[in-house]
Amino acid sequence: MSLTMVLKAFEAVWVDKASLMDKVTSEPSEKMPSTKPTALRFYGSTGVTVTSIYNNSKHAQVLRQDKYWRQSKTAPAETVFLQKEKGYGVGHDQSRFSKFVDYHYIWADETMATNQGQSSATFNVYDYGAKGDGHTDDTKAFEAVWAAACKVEASTIVVPSGSTFLVQPVSFSGPNCAENIIFQLDGKIIAPTSAGAWGSGLLQWIEFTKLKGITIRGKGVIDGQGSAWWHELPTLSPNSEVTGELSKKMPGTKPTAVRFYGSTNVTVTGITIQNSPQTHLKFDDCTSVQVSGFTAASPANSPHTDGIHLQNSRDVLIYSTDLACGDDCVSIQTGCSNVYIHNVNCGPGHGISIGGLGKDNTKACVSNVNVRDVAMQNTLTGVRIKTWQA
């Protein structure tokens, strides 16, 4: 079900025995029952979209969808609840989304229901030749299962628990894929540690490009096995050739573990990405991103291993997430707007950073960033803005 509406919730004042002196409506307060109804409730539904909900009551719960979309009890009246209307991106009137940020709405308390309709078909990697023994190269099986699921809207790819899948660098690409594909990860995916798998160096290991409504969810693990890149690198630039014994094995260019590029309505929830050679999770040129229940884990001395890296992306929500790494827990780069981060555990790491901005005297814009309720432990900084000298 897709629902787009403008709801004006006019307040019917409810009076109990303890508040008879409060403002009342034109009808006697005795006529109103003590149980107060929710104005609008969704229950047991999938694929629900609600935009631009208005509330004229300071404390009334305007919209209820069980487990989802709860309004802060202290939010002011006359504000907008939930996501902005389509078309309010960079260069447009962003007042609606900025109100959402300024008033600290809890945008999605547990799991975002929007754009996650029930699966119409399920595709298991085992049915496409995967072995799941941690030694056999399962890349072709993953490519085949993606090709099949890509043809079916709201399909689900299943990576079963209890198995380990060795996957070479791979790209799961649109734009010709059907929308709302779910990547259900309950097993473990590991990266190759042989130099031959990486050639002269790749920028990412697992990539999702130009997709609409892509979700990665589950209790599984993506392990970049990055220690092969970490030795001796703290004194080198990221693109230098690795010296010493490891120079025979791994290229100097270190890959990001998981990257989303040019995609909309992206959800990552529940999974763990660990031991990435470089950044754990990256969003580049993406819109409407949600990360929740996510864990990034690598040692404090692992260089350049950002937890989450944002670039040229907007309308991003990160919450209920644990980020332990050797660099920024969250890195927000140029071109990002409407970023909301809350209830995140950060550390070890370098804190939450905006920038570096303005390298080589370039123009760099970041706007509407809101960070709150973040626990920092063993971090280099808290929250900082980094700029290059002009």
| Residues composing the chain | 390
Q: Do 24 and 162 sit in the same domain of this protein?
A: no
Residue 49 lies inside a defined structural domain of this protein: yes
What CA–CA distances, in Å, run from 248 to 198, 241, 257? 13, 10, 22
What backbone phi and psi angles, to 5 degrees, belong to 212?
-120, 120
- The separation between CA 216 and the C-alpha centre of its own chain, rounded to angstroms, equals 9
As given in the structure block, the two tokens for residue 161 are 């628990």
**CA–CA separation, 195 and 142 (whole Å):** 21
Q: Do 132 and 47 sit in the same domain of this protein?
A: no
Cis bond upstream, residue 348 (ω within 30): yes
Q: Do 377 and 361 sit in the same domain of this protein?
A: yes
Q: Do 88 and 237 sit in the same domain of this protein?
A: no
Q: Do 219 and 299 sit in the same domain of this protein?
A: yes
If phi > 0 it is left, if psi is from -120 to 50 it is alpha, else beta; for residue 378 that is left
Question: Under DSSP, is residue 228 helix (H, G, I), strand (E, B) or coil?
Answer: helix
Residue 21 lies inside a defined structural domain of this protein: yes
**CA–CA separation, 96 and 388 (whole Å):** 32
Q: Do 133 and 11 sit in the same domain of this protein?
A: no
**CA–CA separation, 331 and 184 (whole Å):** 26
Strands 53-55 and 79-81: antiparallel
Residue 254 lies inside a defined structural domain of this protein: yes
Cα end-to-end distance, the chain, whole Å: 51
Q: Do 85 and 144 sit in the same domain of this protein?
A: no
What CA–CA distances, in Å, run from 25 to 19, 52, 56, 99, 378? 13, 26, 15, 29, 55
How do the pLDDT tens digits run along the chain, 390 residues long? Answer: 433 333 333 233 333 333 434 443 444 446 777 676 766 666 666 555 554 443 443 333 333 333 333 333 333 333 333 333 333 333 333 433 433 333 333 343 333 444 444 557 999 999 999 999 999 999 999 999 999 999 999 999 999 999 999 999 999 998 899 999 999 999 999 999 988 888 877 899 999 999 999 999 999 999 999 998 887 444 444 444 444 334 456 887 899 999 999 999 999 999 999 999 999 999 999 999 999 999 999 999 999 999 999 999 999 999 999 999 999 999 999 999 999 999 999 999 999 999 888 888 888 899 999 999 999 999 999 999 988 875
Q: Which residues are catalytic?
A: 327, 350
Report pLDDT for 174. 87
**CA–CA separation, 152 and 170 (whole Å):** 20
Residue 280 lies inside a defined structural domain of this protein: yes
pTM of the model: 0.70
Q: Do 141 and 89 sit in the same domain of this protein?
A: no
Q: Do 229 and 351 sit in the same domain of this protein?
A: yes
**CA–CA separation, 69 and 99 (whole Å):** 16
Check which CATH number belongs to the domain holding 240 and give it.
Answer: 2.160.20.10
Q: Do 110 and 163 sit in the same domain of this protein?
A: no
Residue 98 lies inside a defined structural domain of this protein: no
Q: Do 186 and 108 sit in the same domain of this protein?
A: no
Write out the DSSP string of 142-203: HHHHHHHHTTSTTEEEEE-TT-EEE--SEEEE-SSSPS--EEEE-SEEE---SGGGTTT--S
If phi > 0 it is left, if psi is from -120 to 50 it is alpha, else beta; for residue 62 that is alpha
- Classify residue 119 by its DSSP letter: P
Q: Do 78 and 128 sit in the same domain of this protein?
A: no
As given in the structure block, the two tokens for residue 247 are 């120079």
Q: What is the domain range of residue 157?
A: 121-387
Q: How many Å is the maximal CA-CA distance in the chain? A: 85
User: Into how many domains does the chain fold?
Assistant: 2
Residue 35 lies inside a defined structural domain of this protein: yes
Report pLDDT for 195. 86
As given in the structure block, the two tokens for residue 318 are 């990160």
Amino acid code (one letter) for 386: K
Other Cβ atoms closer than 10 A to 30: 6
Q: Show which of 85, 114, 143 is a domain's final residue.
A: 114
